[in-house]
């Protein structure tokens, strides 16, 4: 649930439910009071949760990460060769969904479909899996490269950013990288992601004031600035998660879930991003940060009719099966491959 999904109840609606409950009780009819009382309790509970979420976001946005920030106009750059692109995903075996909100997912099946789409859409790109030292990788998951690192599973989102930073620090100087969730399907030739001269490309969406940037798709062109951005983001992350006034308002460690997306917004600046106007990038210290709209670069299918027609989604670089949509990923990839075969 996000603040965009909660409609504040009117005082008249709350009063009406209260009066209906009270009238039933005044007539000695507790059964008639049960339904309006349940509706009243549910409405108040939902709104209390929304208020809690807003309070949490006040604490996050009140944390200021120091940086010199300014709007930026980017230049175009030649697209790289597809063979110079790394498609990088992350996975470790966990006993349950790390979000605590979503249904269990067959991540091995998601990884297999991720690979199928990557190989079909970008056959010359290199596929890389970042994982821990003990996760078993079945033989049919034929990544070009598997990088294993020690990972604290209790702090999964922080650790993901950390191993992404380690990969970026050691990648070859001429490699271009797309960092992807395992449920984010490559849907169009990824060379098109590198048309502008940013150091890091962040995908953003409307309606999520707490987390305008989605960490499931991040574009990092060749060069050392992208790696340095991640190092600084990790410093910001560690500081954010250690502040008692912030950490204490959440029911779980920010390093376990959601904190990474707060950090991306803190690096850019919540206010600066909100006030960006027509700017499609920002200078954060000496990092050129590009803003890539999710509608094109990190598209989430919400309508099942959209999923049944991959041809209608050809302009989407990545199709993301977030949350409980993961069950649809295999079906979509099968249709994507069929669409590619017809072209």
The pLDDT value recorded for residue 102 is: 43
Which tens digit of pLDDT belongs to each residue from 84-143? 999 999 999 876 655 444 454 578 899 999 999 999 999 999 999 999 999 999 999 999
DSSP 195-250: -B--SEEEEE-TT-SS--EEEEEEEE-SSSHHHHHHHHHHHHHHHHHH-HHHHTTS
Domain spans in the chain, listed from the N-terminal domain onward: 3-61, 69-342
Which tens digit of pLDDT belongs to each residue from 27-75? 989 899 999 999 988 888 878 888 888 899 999 999 999 999 999 999 9
Residue 249 confidence (pLDDT) above 70: yes
Cα separation, 322 vs 265, whole angstroms: 20
Q: Which two tokens stand for residue 11?
A: 């005082």
Where are any strands of DSSP class E within 266-305?
281-284, 287-293, 299-300
CATH of 69-342, one of 3.40.50.920, 3.90.550.10, 3.90.1150.10, 3.30.70.1150: 3.90.550.10
CA-based max dimension of the chain: 79
DSSP β-bridge partners for residue 87: 127, 178
Q: What's the pLDDT band for 7 if we cut at 50, 70, 90? A: low
The pLDDT value recorded for residue 302 is: 74
Cα separation, 160 vs 108, whole angstroms: 18
Which tens digit of pLDDT belongs to each residue from 184-235? 999 999 999 999 999 999 999 998 888 999 999 999 999 999 999 999 999 9
Q: What's the pLDDT band for 8 if we cut at 50, 70, 90? A: low
The pLDDT value recorded for residue 107 is: 84
Residue 288 confidence (pLDDT) above 90: yes
Cβ proximity of 273 and 265 under 8 Å: yes
**pTM of the entire predicted model:** 0.88
Cβ proximity of 195 and 154 under 8 Å: no
Q: What's the pLDDT band for 4 if we cut at 50, 70, 90? A: very low
The pLDDT value recorded for residue 303 is: 66
Residue 159 confidence (pLDDT) above 70: yes
């Amino acid at each position: 649930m996000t603040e965009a999904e909660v409609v504040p109840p009117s005082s008249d609606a709350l009063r009406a439910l209260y009066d209906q409950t009270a009238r039933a009780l005044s007539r000695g009819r507790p059964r008639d009071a049960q339904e309006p009382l349940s509706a009243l309790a549910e409405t108040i509970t939902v709104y209390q949760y929304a208020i809690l979420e807003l309070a949490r976001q006040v604490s996050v946005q009140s944390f200021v990460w120091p940086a010199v920030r300014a709007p930026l106009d980017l230049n175009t750059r030649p697209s790289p060769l597809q063979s110079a692109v790394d498609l990088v995903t992350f996975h470790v075996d966990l006993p349950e969904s790390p979000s605590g909100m979503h249904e269990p997912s067959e991540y091995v099946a998601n990884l297999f479909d991720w690979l199928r789409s990557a190989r079909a859409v970008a056959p010359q790109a290199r596929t890389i899996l970042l994982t821990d030292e003990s996760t078993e990788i079945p033989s049919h998951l034929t990544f070009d490269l598997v990088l294993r690192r020690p990972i604290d599973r209790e702090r999964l989102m922080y650790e993901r950013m950390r191993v992404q930073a380690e990969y970026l620090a050691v990648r070859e100087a001429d490699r271009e990288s797309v960092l992807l969730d395992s449920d984010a399907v490559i849907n169009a030739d990824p060379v098109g992601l590198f048309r502008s001269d940013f150091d890091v490309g962040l995908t953003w969406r409307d309606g999520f004031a707490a987390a305008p940037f989605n960490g499931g798709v991040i574009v990092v062109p060749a060069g050392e600035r992208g790696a340095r951005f991640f190092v600084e983001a990790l410093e910001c992350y560690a500081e954010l998660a250690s502040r008692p006034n912030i950490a204490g308002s959440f029911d779980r460690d920010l390093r376990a879930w959601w904190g990474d997306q707060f950090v991306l917004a803190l690096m850019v600046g919540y206010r600066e991003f909100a006030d960006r106007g027509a700017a499609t990038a920002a200078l954060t210290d000496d990092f050129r940060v590009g803003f890539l709209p999710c509608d094109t670069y990190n598209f989430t299918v919400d309508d099942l009719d959209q999923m049944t027609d991959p041809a209608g989604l050809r302009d989407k670089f990545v199709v993301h099966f977030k949350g409980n949509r993961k069950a649809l990923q295999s079906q979509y990839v099968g249709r994507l491959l069929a669409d590619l075969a017809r072209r």
